[in-house]
Chain A
Amino acid sequence: MREVQYREAVAEAMREEMLRDESVFLMGEEVAEYNGAYKASKGLLDEFGPRRVIDTPIAELGFSAIGVGAAMNGLRPIVEFMTWNFAILAADQIINHAAKMLQMSGGQYNVPIVFRGPNGTAGQLAATHSQSFESMYASIPGLKVVTPFTPYEAKGLLKAAIRDNDPVLVMESEKMYGDKGLIPDGEYLVPIGKANIRRTGTDCTIVSFGKILKTVHAAADALAAEGIEVEVIDLVTIRPLDLDTIVESIKKTNRLVIVEESFPVASISSEIAYRVQRHAFDYLDAPIRRLCQSDTPFAFATSLIDAALPQTGDIVQAVKDVAYVA
């Protein structure tokens, strides 16, 4: 094992897959000359040249669609967005074309493409640059959505995504590119569709994903200090959802708190709450709780940012509530 930064893990994944498969290439804004807005494509232009590492015009819709076309004709594009917030412009191509081409062509044209980039809040980026898009895209049949939390998943999941024959959306975070973690020396893949139990416990299950898991872990530590052991499940893949792992955990803990860094309405937490009450109702000893960011455009001022996001104390309290601990 060796320690790498998240951004290095992303670059390694792309590099290894580009070495392995000639049809893989990277395109996006500032990915070549500049090595990526967050340096997640460092060294790739030097190694693979401008034919396979392509700086595109500033046109998210355009280069996403051109990626779709290239994927229909034998290539495996990796499309980097400077942020998923800019990719709203590309939503037509992701939702209406990448996700539906296989169905619209009666199974003739699959679209093996990866869309990746940072997602969610990242400090004082203000309302238009602070949104999470997992729930929006995970509601679209034909897409797969993954949110790697550590460098280990950032590399292994991205490699799996590049080899996948369907469109895969990879949600990273500006706040995680500098995170360090251990990864194996040799090649490995992290399968799409499998949740990860990050901490075992018997008193309550917390389901979460992405950057806010840092807050969840802090809450789990605080609870452990009070003798409450929570089981923390990182979804890792948002669609297809690994319901088995969640239900198995609830059978043990009988309690569920969902923590999600996104707006609450029609969210991933709503979906999980539905599925759990449908498939594990008899195992629940308390109503499911969920914590999301505030149901408002995201704040700009630092003090308001903290207020708009679930904090450690909020999670501790929610767990105590469902565990009926005073």
Chain B
Amino acid sequence: MPIRTDFSATVEHISILDEHGVLDEQLAKDTLTDEQVLELFQYMCKCRALDETAFKLQRSGRMGTYPQNKGQEAAAIGSAFAAKRGVDWLVPCYRENAALWMHGLPMHYVLLHWMGDERGNQIPQGVNITPLCIPIGTQMLHATGISWAMKLRGIPGVAITYFGDGATSEGDFHEAMNFASVQQTPTIFFCQNNEWAISVPRERQMWSSTVAQKAIAYGMPCVRVDGNDLFAVYKASRDAIERARAGGGPSFIEAVTYRLADHTTADDARRYRDPVEVEAWVGKDPIIRLRKYLVSKGLWDDAKQAELDEAGKAMVSEVVRAAEGIAKPAVSDIFDYTYATIPPELEVQRRTMRTHSLGQSPEQVGLAGR
């Protein structure tokens, strides 16, 4: 018997707007209108401004820890813009703030979270977003469950879940990908491959040459895009969402991008990254190239930029004020969100404001003298 090939595959890589701001008109057709690009560009600039401010807040002791989003704005915005607010779900990790804001989360919520307040994750009714998820990779399974629930309930929504290259080493990732493809759930696995899992570069996390090819093993459509290219990210996201909404099951998108800042404010990436590498990626900044493009089209100029920067500053101040101005939570909050219906023994703790480690008296428990 001859040896035959039972399976072979390739991974496509889409790039539409290059780092010099030159657009591939052919591929860009039917993606974003000029008005949309202008709107999203302004969004990206404002998000960058808030991101820089959050960093300063942390450095001045007004915030606990903060993971900067710098450099990954196109990946967040391009994907979230393709989703429908109030219908589709965003299931984040923690480096896609711009996506959350675009999907309806008030901007001060994320700051509130990093200032150490659960209310930053008290997602408003009607905003289909799950709380920021810090343990790596656990949220991809929730996204699969959330989107599966929509499929079972006959709701025409999809879930986009965000994660980094590092998360694809977790078993959770593989279990989510497997289940999603077996059940053909409307799930978009959106990997922000920013090349670094804290200090471990991608080539020491995985032996595969792309992250996207991991999807092939699960029979899932996959694509790589230039993650700093708003057009490419949008196109891939829109196609995947349309396919999922039409019953075509899950997709995998690898957005190749770069973490321009440290992992978090508790990290110093200069210790382990080559400055030459970082410099090369600074040149691929998603905001700079988009601005070049808009200027070349006559849609943007320095005056408009100055105006935007001013508006951005005002917005950032407002957002910081909203986050810092919130009243301290009530002590009873400790107990109120443990169970949907509080059990009697916890009600005693809530009433006496003492935990078991402190120990209620028999009188407080209501057992004395009976």
Name which residue of chain A comes closest to B335, CB basis: A141
Q: Is there contact, CB below 8 Å, between B365 and A243?
A: yes
A104 with B182: CB separation less than 8 A: no
Contact B153 A241 (CB under 8 A): no
Query: In the complex, are the beta carbons of B345 and A65 less than 8 A apart?
Result: no
Residue of B91, B150, B175 contacting most chain A CB atoms (<10 Å): B175
Is A165 a contact of B367 with CB atoms below 8 Å?
Answer: no
| Contact between A106 and B121, CB atoms less than 8 A apart | yes
Quick check: is B265 within 8 A (CB to CB) of the other chain?
Answer: no
Whether A279 pairs with B149 at a CB distance below 8 angstroms is no
- With beta carbons under 8 angstroms apart, the residue of A51, A74, A240, A280 that contacts B343 is A240
In the complex, the answer to whether A59 meets B178 with C-beta atoms within 8 Å is yes
Distance in Å: Cβ of A162 to nearest Cβ of chain B: 14
Q: How many A residues have CB within 8 A of the partner chain?
A: 53
- How far, in whole Å, are A62 and B150 apart by their CA atoms in the complex? 18
CB contact between B337 and one of A68, A107, A164 (< 8 Å): that residue: A107
Interface residues of B in 59-86 (CB under 8 A from A): none
Partner of B175, one of A62, A96, A251, A280: A62
Closest chain A CB from B280 CB (angstroms): 38
The answer, yes or no, to whether B207 is at the interface (CB within 8 Å) is: no
Interface string of B142-163 (1 = CB under 8 A from A): 1111111110110000000000
Inter-chain contacts of A75 with B (CB < 8 A): 149, 152-153
Contact at A65–B138, with CB atoms within 8 Å? yes
Contact of A56 among B121, B179, B339 (CB under 8 A): B179
* A240 CB to nearest chain B CB (Å): 4
Chain A, residues 37-53, CB within 8 Å of chain B (1/0): the string is 00000000000000100
| Most A CB within 10 A of own CB, among B119, B146, B172, B339 | B339
Q: Which residues of A contact B343 (CB under 8 A)?
A: 144, 193, 240
Partner of A69, one of B148, B153, B362: B148
Shortest distance in angstroms between A220's beta carbon and chain B's nearest beta carbon?
Answer: 25
> Which B residues lie within 8 Å of A56 (CB)?
179
Pick the contact of A166: B145, B182, B339, B345 (CB < 8 A).
B339
The 8 Å CB contact of A74, one of B141, B153, B333, B367, is: B153
Tell me how far the C-beta of A257 lies from the nearest C-beta in chain B, rounded to whole angstroms: 20
Asked whether B344 lies within 8 Å of A193 as measured between CB atoms, the reply is: yes
Question: Does A103 contact B179, Cβ atoms closer than 8 Å?
Answer: no
A23 to B153, CA, bound (A): 8
CB distance from B210 to the nearest CB of A (A): 23
B interface majority secondary structure: helix
B219 at interface, CB cutoff 8 A: no
Are A166 and B340 in contact, with the CB atoms below 8 A?
Answer: yes
Q: Is the CB of A279 within 8 A of B148?
A: no
Instruction: Point out the residues of chain A lying under 8 angstroms from B267, CB to CB.
Output: none
Q: Are A59 and B179 touching (Cβ within 8 A)?
A: yes
B123 touches A108 (CB 8 A): yes
Point out the residues of chain A lying under 8 angstroms from B171, CB to CB: 61-62
Q: Which residues of B contact A166 (CB under 8 A)?
A: 339-341
Are A25 and B175 in touch, CB under 8 angstroms?
Answer: no
Residues of A contacting B153 with CB < 8 Å?
A: 23, 73-75
How does the 8 Å CB contact mask read for B114-149 relative to A, with 1 for contact and 0 for none? 000011111100000011000100100111111111
> A69-B144, A279-B365 are known contacts. Are A109 and B130 too (CB-CB below 8 A)?
yes
Shortest CB–CB separation between residue B362 and chain A, in angstroms? 5
Q: Are A69 and B149 in contact (CB under 8 A)?
A: yes
- B-side contacts of A74, CB under 8 Å: 149, 153
* Set B119, B143, B338, B368: member contacting A141, Cβ < 8 A: B338
Whether A70 and B145, one on each chain, are in contact in the complex, defined by CB atoms closer than 8 angstroms, is yes
- Interface membership of B359, Cβ < 8 A: yes
- Name 17 interchain pairs, CB-CB below 8 A, sorted by A: A59-B179, A62-B141, A62-B176, A65-B144, A66-B141, A68-B142, A69-B142, A69-B144, A72-B146, A73-B89, A73-B149, A97-B142, A106-B120, A109-B131, A166-B340, A247-B367, A248-B370
Q: Mark A residues whose CB is within 8 Å of B.
A: 23, 25, 51, 54, 56-57, 59, 61-63, 65-75, 92-93, 96-97, 101-110, 112, 141-142, 144, 164-166, 193, 240-241, 243-244, 247-248, 251, 278-280
